[in-house]
Structure 1
């Protein structure tokens, strides 16, 4: 039985790592504000994703 080929994905997600100093800053702020900085930290991690679109 021959399987039909699937088309190539039209987009890919690339993840960039957060730098050491920025990561340390966010963890320090999470600790100093007793977790109030956590949403900012998580949004910073989420913002590091880049979508690459293929034509």
Structure 2
């Protein structure tokens, strides 16, 4: 019986570790995507500003 309990605890701990790892991976992917989107938006805004400045000048 003790062996079964130990196995169950090990399985639960492993599942928790897997869940934490998955969450970390998801967070990292989201952060990378947000950084890429921000870079694209910044480039678009800078391009628009440059065009507007050229037209105004």
Superposition TM-score, scaled by structure 2 size: 0.30
Q: TM-score, normalised by structure 1?
A: 0.31
Higher strand proportion: 1
> Highest CA radius of gyration, 1 or 2?
2
